[in-house]
């Protein structure tokens, strides 16, 4: 998760001497998502001010899963920020070197095959009893029946 959070805090901006009141809320949300603040490989300001009385700041943050090493490295590019006042961020994403075979079925629109497929779905779904869903296991059973109906149609 990355964004311009507009939250200055000395936890991620050593030039800022205070804690923002919004820091706790942000960290509570990211913690609930299983994310933690990830520092860039080359720390520095993420927003450059055009005036001389304000200081540059770190307000663009990246929160990543702590246990996923493939998404742990990102860089700031302070030389690439014009016309924006924010720097560009890049992250390297590790992609496994495997081939993934994909296949799909296609039904032509308004064809007889489409009509038969829809009729088969309607018939299959109408035979699924969903009135007994009161617990998680019943919901999972009904969803599995729907998946099986779709797969066999």
Provide the H-helix boundaries in 9-130.
Answer: 23-32, 112-126
Measuring CA to CA, which residue among 90, 49, 91 is closest to residue 70? Answer: 91
pLDDT beyond 70 at 10: yes
Q: What SS3 state is found at 126?
A: helix
pLDDT of residue 99: 79
pLDDT of residue 111: 92
Q: What is the DSSP letter of 71?
A: G
Task: Indicate the pLDDT class of residue 69, thresholds 50, 70 and 90.
Answer: low
| Domains of the chain from N-terminus onward | 1-95 (3.60.10.10), 112-152 (no CATH)
pLDDT of residue 71: 65
Q: What mean pLDDT comes out for the span 24-31?
A: 88
Q: Report the mean per-residue pLDDT for the chain.
A: 82
Percent of the chain, pLDDT > 90?
A: 3
CA atoms within 13 A on the CB side of 33: 14
List, for residues 105-138, the tens digit of each pLDDT value: 788 889 999 999 889 888 888 888 888 788 888 8
pLDDT beyond 70 at 72: no
Alpha-carbon distance values, 120 to 54, 110, 117, 128, 141 (Å):
66, 15, 5, 13, 20
Residue in this structure with the two tokens 């490295």, named with its chain if needed: 73
Q: Which residue has the higher pLDDT, 69 or 148?
A: 148
Q: What mean pLDDT comes out for the span 85-104?
A: 78
Neighbour tally for 5: CB within 10 Å: 19
Distance CA 18, CA 21 (A): 9
Task: Indicate the pLDDT class of residue 49, thresholds 50, 70 and 90.
Answer: confident
pLDDT beyond 90 at 36: no
């Amino acid at each position: 998760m990355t964004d311009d959070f507009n939250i200055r805090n000395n936890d991620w901006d050593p030039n800022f001497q205070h804690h923002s009141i919004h820091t706790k809320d942000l960290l509570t949300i990211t913690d609930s998502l299983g994310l933690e603040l990830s520092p860039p490989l080359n720390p520095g300001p993420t927003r450059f001010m055009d005036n001389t009385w304000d200081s540059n700041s770190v307000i663009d943050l990246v929160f990543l899963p702590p246990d996923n090493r493939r998404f742990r490295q990102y860089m700031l590019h302070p030389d690439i920020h014009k016309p924006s006042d924010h720097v560009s961020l890049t992250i390297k994403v590790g992609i496994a070197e495997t081939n993934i075979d994909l296949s799909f079925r296609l039904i032509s629109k308004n064809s007889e095959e489409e009509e038969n497929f829809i009729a088969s779905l309607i018939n299959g779904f109408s035979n699924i009893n969903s009135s007994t869903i009161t617990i998680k296991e019943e919901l999972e059973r009904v969803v599995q029946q729907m998946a099986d109906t779709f797969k066999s149609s």
